[in-house]
């Protein structure tokens, strides 16, 4: 196969010309090659050089008029950006590994040795940039055939590939999920055999691959592979704990692991927000801890939303996820995820709507998206009934918000005004009075405006023996 037509870009022509002038051989390798065959967009180009990769990068940049080149001499690589393309140059190399580290011992090598060290056959493809063979594909491991068969295979024995660098196990699952490929049976067995090796990989690298799986079109595929291989329990045992169905006296509960994956897939059809997808993953995370059996009603999970919200911080900290507003956002959605469902089941009062708007704030739409995704019944009539009721709740949310403006509101009377009105010192009572005003607005006793709030303040002040 010749892919010359895909290399009709100034970058590749310049690399070819400069390589010939300096008696180097150069090749495009890896993901860029895979992606042009799959007709996927790609802006990352890796160029392997038989010769001095740093020198070639410098001379190509000069020929292209690129002023800024980053040199990483410790790794023998150089990189620059050209026409929105990230280009990296490296000398061909071979690698060997110690058992307790994924960082290899690197030596100069041939193109074949460089392809040997690649993680998968579909990533070991190379395209020649040499004048005499420009555009020709070098495919020593039948990567083209594996692409056509949609299969993930390793160039060498999978046990060796995964044991040398256990991160490749997560990458196998990530590529299978992103590309909708299958993992070769021998490689699947090797995932199970080497799952324990994941302990030598940093949490940051693990979660980087996990987030890419979460952001794929159908993330449940990746999570099922993570679960079946035993990899998931190595870094996210709380999610593994969701798996399974218990039956007592003929009463069972649903499998919360597969339910969570269904919710994740549902929400992924409606959002590309990583943290909203994380909220879907975490929404029932506390069900194993809150599971109880009641002989009359069967299994219950009372309070799992509050316990789950408290678990979020610990899980985020362990997984090195951000402990900032993103975490608080996930906590909020986990804590509130039952509230809209309760409204759907019961009487939708203005007071309940006001409280939901106040607590959810600007995240109300995301919360509704999560709750809609949480409807996973196999009973189509039941699902449609819930969805219809959700539309009623959405309509009511809009009506109440337009009328009462309670989203993210602060009581119209400040603490300073309360102190001034009753000639008080700062004290606990000031906060209590302010809270009573807020509750009165949420309950619909008074409107969300200054005049009604001030009149109400004077009235409740009398109950506390205060005078203006």
Domain that includes residue 27, residue range: 4-149
Residue 58 lies in a domain: yes
Could you give the CA distance from residue 302 to residue 279 in angstroms, rounded to a whole number? 19
Residue 407 lies in a domain: no
Of the three residues 235, 268, 299, the one that is the final residue of a domain is: 235
Residue 289 lies in a domain: no
Could you give the CA distance from residue 420 to residue 443 in angstroms, rounded to a whole number? 26
Residue 374 lies in a domain: no
Tens of pLDDT, residue by residue over 404-441, are 888 878 889 999 999 999 888 899 999 999 999 999 99
Question: Do 446 and 419 lie in a common domain?
Answer: yes
* Beta carbons of 71 and 54 less than 8 angstroms apart: yes
Could you give the CA distance from residue 414 to residue 436 in angstroms, rounded to a whole number? 12
Can you give the CATH number for the domain in which 169 is found? Answer: 1.10.110.30
Question: Do 98 and 19 lie in a common domain?
Answer: yes
In this prediction the pTM is 0.88
Does pLDDT of 102 surpass 70? no
With tokens 């106040």, the residue in question is 358
Tens of pLDDT, residue by residue over 116-160, are 889 999 999 999 999 999 999 999 999 999 999 999 999 999 999
Does pLDDT of 234 surpass 90? yes
Residue 269 lies in a domain: no
Question: Do 173 and 141 lie in a common domain?
Answer: no
Residue 338 lies in a domain: no
Question: Do 30 and 66 lie in a common domain?
Answer: yes
Instruction: Compute CA distances 192 → 197, 229, 232, 403, 449, whole Å.
Output: 10, 5, 11, 58, 63
Question: Do 41 and 109 lie in a common domain?
Answer: yes
Q: Domain total for the chain?
A: 3
Question: Do 21 and 114 lie in a common domain?
Answer: yes
Residue 282 lies in a domain: no
């Amino acid at each position: 196969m010749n892919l010359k037509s895909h290399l009709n870009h100034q970058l590749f022509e310049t690399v070819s010309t400069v390589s010939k002038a300096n008696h180097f051989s150069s090749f495009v390798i890896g993901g860029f090659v895979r992606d042009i065959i799959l007709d996927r967009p790609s802006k990352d180009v890796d160029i392997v050089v038989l010769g001095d990769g740093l020198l070639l990068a410098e001379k190509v940049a000069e020929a292209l008029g690129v002023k800024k080149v980053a040199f990483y001499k410790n790794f023998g690589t150089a990189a620059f950006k050209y026409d929105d393309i990230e280009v990296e140059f490296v000398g061909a190399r071979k690698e060997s590994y110690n058992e307790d580290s994924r960082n290899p011992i690197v030596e100069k090598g041939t193109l074949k040795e460089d392809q040997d060290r690649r993680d998968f056959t579909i990533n070991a493809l190379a395209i020649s940039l040499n004048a005499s063979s420009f555009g020709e594909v070098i495919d020593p491991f039948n990567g083209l055939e594996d692409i056509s068969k949609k299969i993930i295979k390793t160039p060498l024995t999978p046990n060796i590939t995964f044991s040398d660098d256990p991160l490749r196990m997560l990458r196998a699952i990530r590529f299978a999920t992103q590309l909708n490929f299958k993992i070769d049976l021998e490689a699947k067995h090797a995932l199970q055999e080497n799952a324990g090796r994941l302990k030598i990989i940093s949490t940051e690298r693990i979660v980087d691959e996990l987030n890419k799986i979460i952001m794929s079109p159908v993330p449940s595929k990746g999570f099922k592979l993570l679960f079946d291989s035993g990899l998931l329990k190595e870094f996210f045992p709380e999610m593994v704990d969701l798996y399974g169905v218990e039956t007592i006296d003929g009463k069972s509960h649903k499998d919360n692991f597969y339910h969570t994956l269904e919710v994740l897939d549902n929400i992924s059809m409606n959002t590309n927000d990583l943290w909203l997808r994380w909220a879907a993953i975490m929404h029932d995370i506390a069900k194993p801890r809150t599971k109880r059996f009641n002989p009359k009603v069967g299994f219950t999970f009372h309070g799992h939303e509050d316990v789950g919200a408290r678990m979020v911080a610990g899980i985020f900290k362990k997984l090195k996820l951000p402990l900032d507003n993103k975490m608080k956002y996930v906590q909020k959605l986990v804590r509130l995820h039952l509230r809209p469902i309760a409204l759907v089941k019961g009487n939708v009062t203005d007071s309940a709507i006001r409280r939901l708007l106040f607590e959810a704030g600007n995240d109300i739409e995301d919360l509704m998206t999560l709750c809609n995704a949480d409807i996973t019944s196999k009973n189509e009539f039941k699902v449609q009934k819930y969805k219809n009721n959700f539309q009623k709740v959405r309509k009511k949310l809009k009506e109440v918000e337009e009328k009462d403006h309670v989203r993210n509101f602060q009581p119209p009377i400040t603490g300073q005004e309360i102190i001034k009105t009753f000639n008080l010192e700062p004290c606990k009572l000031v906060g209590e009075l302010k809270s009573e005003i807020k509750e009165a607005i949420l309950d619909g006793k008074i409107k969300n405006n200054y005049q009604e709030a001030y009149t109400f303040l004077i009235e409740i002040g009398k109950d506390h023996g205060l005078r203006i």
